[in-house]
């Protein structure tokens, strides 16, 4: 289905002054010949409802519409691209809908329900597909989010065996499809391969992107199996077992399991304990996982990081810590105020004088000692001398009214500093989370975890955004 004549993608980029943001790992694919070929290699999209992740300026979006997609739902979190996508939306005759939102927070099931996507039996081909040129920094997280929805058949997979056509860094794509006992075989290969069939359908050199990344990319096709390879009682436990074993891929599996506690050798069953983790098949990983789930002596652990609610849980925990810290500071300030109000006027003047001196730039230990000498001398001052001294500091005569005004100013300043501390703490928490992810990648040689993970900027949803987080 041909679209009306429209400006080239390059012209739209110039028209709206668009550019790729490095912090969002954006790289544009502008050649429509390449995006058209991706659609053909993916098996076509005729009469399908397609969720496109990160539509950007709309290059792949045009190819999806041209390929005959019944409905394209373009999810984009960068509001700079919305005007260009709206232009394409108007030309699509209702076949394109643009949604402003962060795909990590989108409820895919609610999205498909809103656009009346067709549900299909699990044994038949799905009429829903999800496509995306995923940013390298969050591609793994998004894919795992969807893989975790397969077993409970929720979200995307409430609509059947929805195929994923995703563009990754080539090295990551090779890890996802890696066969057993290969160098790239690891956690991602097990998590995907146990329930899905995956294959690389197209390789793209970095030079076809704008701006060109330093690495090549691959398009990978992932489709759930009708029956998984080995039934797993807990997908969270499978991911935990994979991480625990592949963290020690040079050890034998018996030694890799020892940190789990006494009796962990029983998890192997009839599997040779001298084998290495990368030699275990999908079925053997499933068997070890089921034994671990039924193991009564396993350590109590938090498996929330292996669920799709992990981000929400972390955010709620941070929010609770910030709230507790804020309340603690408020209590301290209230206590200081109450203690101040109990002082007589002369002691209050001494307190204000001390705060005023300590707040000056360059206040050091020597000045503190000098202040102590001044404070000792204040006890011998008359009230008139005290007021004269404070007038020199505050440039006004200190009365009960001005005293209260100065006091309120001091406490207001402390509150502002407290707010700044909260913002700095939030930045530190985010920085610490990124460092933790990077440290984990360094410790896990050949592990399939993400190499880079950065938080997104938060965007307000537009009025016509229909995405709601359950």
Q: Is 101 annotated as a binding residue?
A: no
d(CA 252, CA 344): 74
- CA angle 258/263/267 to nearest 5° reads 80
* Helix H or strand E segment including 99: strand 96-100
Q: Is 29 annotated as a binding residue?
A: yes
Residues in the chain: 470
Q: What's the CA gap between 157 and 126, in Å, rounded?
A: 9
CB 127 within 8 A of CB 162: no
Going edge to edge, which strands form the sheet with 196-204? Answer: 96-100, 71-76, 49-53, 128-133, 164-169, 217-224, 196-204
Judged by phi (left if over 0) then psi (alpha if -120 to 50, else beta), residue 342 lies in alpha
Joined tokens for residue 161 = 């065996």
272 in a known ligand binding site: no
Helix axis angle, 365-378 relative to 345-358, nearest 10°?
Answer: 160
Does residue 27 have a known ligand-binding role? yes
Count of CB atoms situated within 10 Å of the CB of 153: 14
Q: Where are the alpha helices (DSSP H) in 379-399?
A: 383-394
Catalogue the long-range contacts made by 449-458 (C-beta closer than 8 Å, 24 or more residues apart).
449/140, 449/187, 450/137, 450/138, 450/139, 450/140, 450/141, 452/25, 452/136, 452/137, 453/137, 453/138, 453/141, 454/23, 454/137, 455/430, 456/24, 456/77, 456/102, 456/104, 456/138, 457/23, 458/102
Question: Distances from the Cα of 196 to the Cαs of 155, 180, 199, 438, in angstroms?
Answer: 16, 15, 10, 28
Annotated binding residue 144? no
Q: Which of 90, 95, 97, 130 is nearest to 1 (CA)?
A: 95
Report in angstroms the alpha-carbon separations of 374 from 169, 307, 387: 67, 61, 14
> Is residue 412 annotated as involved in ligand binding?
no
| 136 within 8 A of 452, measured Cβ to Cβ | yes
Residue 160's CB: how many other CB atoms inside 10 A?
A: 21
Token reading at 80 = 């700079």
- Residue 205: which of 218, 194, 192 has the closest Cα? 218
Q: Which token pair is 107?
A: 């409820």
- Return binding residues for S-adenosyl-L-methionine: 27, 29, 54, 76, 102, 133
- Return binding residues: 27, 29, 54, 76, 102, 133
């Amino acid at each position: 289905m041909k679209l009306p004549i429209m400006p080239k993608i390059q012209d739209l980029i110039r028209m709206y002054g668009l550019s790729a943001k490095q912090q969002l790992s954006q790289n544009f694919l502008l050649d429509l010949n390449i995006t058209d070929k991706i659609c053909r290699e993916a098996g076509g999209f005729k009469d399908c409802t397609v969720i496109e992740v990160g539509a950007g300026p709309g290059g792949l979006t045009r190819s999806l519409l041209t390929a005959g997609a019944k409905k394209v739902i373009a999810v984009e979190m960068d509001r700079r691209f919305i005007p260009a996508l709206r232009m394409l939306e108007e030309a699509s005759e209702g076949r394109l809908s643009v949604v402003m939102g962060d795909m990590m927070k989108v409820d895919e099931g609610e999205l498909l329900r809103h656009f009346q996507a067709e549900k299909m039996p699990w044994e038949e081909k799905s009429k829903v597909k999800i496509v995306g040129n995923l940013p390298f920094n969050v591609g793994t997280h998004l894919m795992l989010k969807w893989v975790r929805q397969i077993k409970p058949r929720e979200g995307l997979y409430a609509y059947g065996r929805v195929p994923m056509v995703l563009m990754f860094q080539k090295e990551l794509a090779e890890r996802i499809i890696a066969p057993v006992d290969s160098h790239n075989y690891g956690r991602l290969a097990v998590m995907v391969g146990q329930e899905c069939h995956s294959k690389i359908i197209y390789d793209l050199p970095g030079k076809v992107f704008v701006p060109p990344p330093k690495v090549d990319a691959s398009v990978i096709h992932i489709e759930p199996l009708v029956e998984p390879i080995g039934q797993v009682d807990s997908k969270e436990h499978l991911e935990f077992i994979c991480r625990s074993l592949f963290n020690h891929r040079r050890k034998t599996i018996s030694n890799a399991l020892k940190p789990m506690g006494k009796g962990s050798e029983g998890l192997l069953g009839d599997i040779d304990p001298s084998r290495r983790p990368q030699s275990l098949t999908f079925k053997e990983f499933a068997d070890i996982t089921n034994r671990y789930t039924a193991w009564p002596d396993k350590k109590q652990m938090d498996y929330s990081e292996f669920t799709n609610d992990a981000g929400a849980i972390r955010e709620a925990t941070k929010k609770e810590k910030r709230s507790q810290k804020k309340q603690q500071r408020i209590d301290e300030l209230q206590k200081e105020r109450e203690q101040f109000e109990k002082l007589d006027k002369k002691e209050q003047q001494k307190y204000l004088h001390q705060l005023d001196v300590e707040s000056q730039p360059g206040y050091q230990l020597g000045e503190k000692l000098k202040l102590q000498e001044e404070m000792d001398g204040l006890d011998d001052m008359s009230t008139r001398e005290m007021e004269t001294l404070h007038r020199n500091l505050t440039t006004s005569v200190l009365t009960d009214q001005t005293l209260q005004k100065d006091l309120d100013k001091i406490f207001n300043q402390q509150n502002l500093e407290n707010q700044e501390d909260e913002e700095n703490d939030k930045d530190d928490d985010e920085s610490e989370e990124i460092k933790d992810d990077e440290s984990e990648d360094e410790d896990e040689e050949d592990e399939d975890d993400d190499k880079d993970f950065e938080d997104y900027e938060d965007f307000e949803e537009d009025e016509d955004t229909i995405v709601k987080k359950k």
